[in-house]
Structure 1
Amino acid sequence: MAFSLPLGLKAEVKRKVTPEITARHLGSGNVEVLATPAMIALMEQAAVQAVDPLLPPGQKTVGVAVDVKHIAPTPVGMEVRATAELVEVDGRKLLFKVEAYDEKEKVGEGLHRRVIIDLEQFASRVLSKGGTL
């Protein structure tokens, strides 16, 4: 890897909570609040936005681990905001501090790990399993 990513890179994504991303709809619970999987997806999107635009052509990141706590509910209709900050780089391994907030309070926090991949090699692995891209 002939380039380096500086620590402290940050990004933020926002989304209004709709019925499609509630725990009831996604099957992760039986209540009409932001689902934990949806919150994690927003955190991952923020991490992607923080670093992927800076990568050389032919490289992207993929998520490989999450350690996140969902600490408060967010109802349908309220906006949720997820942030990611690059806090560690170890070769191709990237570690992000991630947080989520609704209009009233912090609703999630934790760590998210991504790995920089070569798109051609990654595609080859997917295709070797009979997948499509």
Structure 2
Amino acid sequence: MFLTDNIKPGLVGIAQVEVNEQNTAIAYGSGGIKVYATPAMIGLMEKAALSSVDPLLPEGYSTVGIKVNVEHVAATPIGGNVRAHSKLMEIDGRRLVFDVQAYDDIRLVGQGIHERFIVQSDQFLQRVTKQK
């Protein structure tokens, strides 16, 4: 079985979160205002993509984020909800390219492209820990 046999373009993923004190720009150190942090939004977009493909991979495999190119176009205050959507656009060997968007209760708040790479979990972790 090839790694992407169960993964096809068009696959979608969703992740959502409520904005709170822990995911604001102040908490992340990425800004000085209590609104949803850009790094938190990027993480939510990655989570949407991850949740769509990882369950379809063979046992012992996962994906890691390798590239993010997004814009954060609107602020969301504490108490708001943010929902990220991902759509798999391209499969290039073990590289997966996603279109990602984030919406709050009112509007689009972020959009862009996110890439992930399929890895064998054990081997990947061994390589990383050898770098210590």
Give ranges in structure 2 of 5+ residues lacking alignment: none
Which deviates more from structure 2 when the two are superposed, residues 115-124 or residues 67-76? 115-124
1:24 CA displacement? 1.0
Partner of 2:69: 67
Q: Give the C-alpha shift of residue 2 in structure 1.
A: 1.3
| Superposition map of 1:26-41 within 5 A | 26-41=28-43
1:14 matched residue in structure 2: 16
Distance across 1 between alignment mates of 2:109 and 2:78: 14
Task: Find runs of 4+ consecutive structure 1 residues off by over 2 angstroms.
Answer: none
Q: CA deviation at 1:3?
A: 3.8
Instruction: Find out whether 1:2 has 2:5 as its counterpart.
Output: no
- State the Cα distance separating 1:127 from its structure 2 match: 2.1
1:105 aligns with one of 104, 107, 112: 107
Whole-angstrom CA distance in 2 between matches of 1:3 and 1:66: 23
Q: Deviations over 1:69-99 (max 9, x none)?
A: 0000000000110011100000000000000
Q: 2:49 aligns with which of 47, 50, 53?
A: 47
The DSSP-based 3-state class of the residue aligned with 1:11 is strand
| Post-superposition offset of 1:51 | 0.2
TM-score for both structures, normalised by structure 1: 0.95
In structure 1, how many angstroms separate the alpha carbons of the residues matched to 2:47 and 2:70? 15
1:89 maps to which of 91, 94, 97: 91
Shift of 1:19: 0.9
- 2: CA distance, partners of 1:58 / 1:129: 21
Aligned amino acid, residue 16 of structure 2: K
Which consecutive unaligned segments of at least 5 residues does structure 1 have?
Answer: none
- The amino acid of 2:62's aligned partner reads K
TM superposition score normalised by structure 2: 0.95
Residues in 1 aligned to 2:59 and 2:15: alpha-carbon distance in whole angstroms: 24
2:56, 2:99 → 1: CA distance? 18
RMSD of aligned alpha carbons: 1.0
The share of aligned pairs that are identical, in percent, is 48
**Offset of residue 129 of structure 1:** 1.9
1:110 deviates by: 0.1
Tell me which moved more, 121-130 or 10-19. 121-130
